[in-house]
Structure 1
Amino acid sequence: MGRYHVLSELGRGSMGVVYLGFDPKLQREVAIKTILVPEGYSEAQRQAMTRSLLQEARLAAALAHPGIVRVFDAGEDHSLPYIVFERIEGVALSTRLAEEGALGRDGADRLMGELLDALAYAHERQIIHRDIKPANLMVQADGRLRVMDFGIARALADQPQSGRRVLCGTPRYMSPEQIDGRAVDTRSDVFSLGIVFYEMLCGQRPFPQKDFQELREALVGRPHPPLHHHNPDLPPSYYGFIDRALAKAPEERFADARQMRDALHECMVDRSAPVAAPGEDVSVARQQILDEIRRQIERQGDFPATSQYLARVTAAARSSHSSASTIANEILKDFALTNRILRMVNSPFYAGIGGRIRTISRAVVILGVDTVLSTAGGLSIFEHFHNRSGVAELKQQAVKALMTGLHARQLAHAINLENAEEAFICGMLHHLGRLIVAFYYPQEYQRIEKLIDNGTPTERASRKVMRLSYLELGEAMAQFWNMPESIVRAIHGLDPEHKGAPQGSVQMTQAVVSMAEELSHATFITDPEQRQAALKAVERSFRDKIHVGETRLMRLVEDSLRNAWDISHALRVDLKSMGVTDALLHSIQADPGVEAAPAARPRPGVSAAAVEATASISGDVSSPSLTLDDPDDERSQMDENALAVQRQDLMAKTMAEISQALAGQFQLNDVLVMILEAMYRGIGCDHVLMAMVNPQRSHVIGRFGLGDQIEEAIGRFNFPLRAGGGAPVGCIINRREYFVPDLSDPAHHGLLPRPLDEVLRAEGLILVPLDVRNQAIGLFMATRRKSRAAFARQDLRDLRALSRMAVTGIQQSAGQR
Structure 2
Amino acid sequence: MGIAQVWGLPEVIQSCIRKPTGSPPLRPSLQPLQRLRWLASAANEVSDILLRTPAAQVDAKVVQVSGIYASTLGISLKEMQSSTLLARQKFIEMASAMDIKVLPNSAAARLLSPPPKTIDNAPPTDAAADSLDSLALQATVLESQKSLPLKKTDERQVAEILAAGIQDITNAMVEDFKLTDVLRMILETMFRAMNFQRVVFCMRDPKTDALTGRFGLGNGVESVVKTFAIGLAPSNPDLFTAVCLKGADTMISDASEARIASRLPVWYIKSVNAPTFLLLPLTIKVKPFGLIYADKAEKGEMVLDDKELALLRTLRNQAVMAFRQSS
TM-score, length of structure 2 as denominator length: 0.50
TM-score when scaled to structure 1? 0.21
Q: Rg bigger for which structure?
A: 1
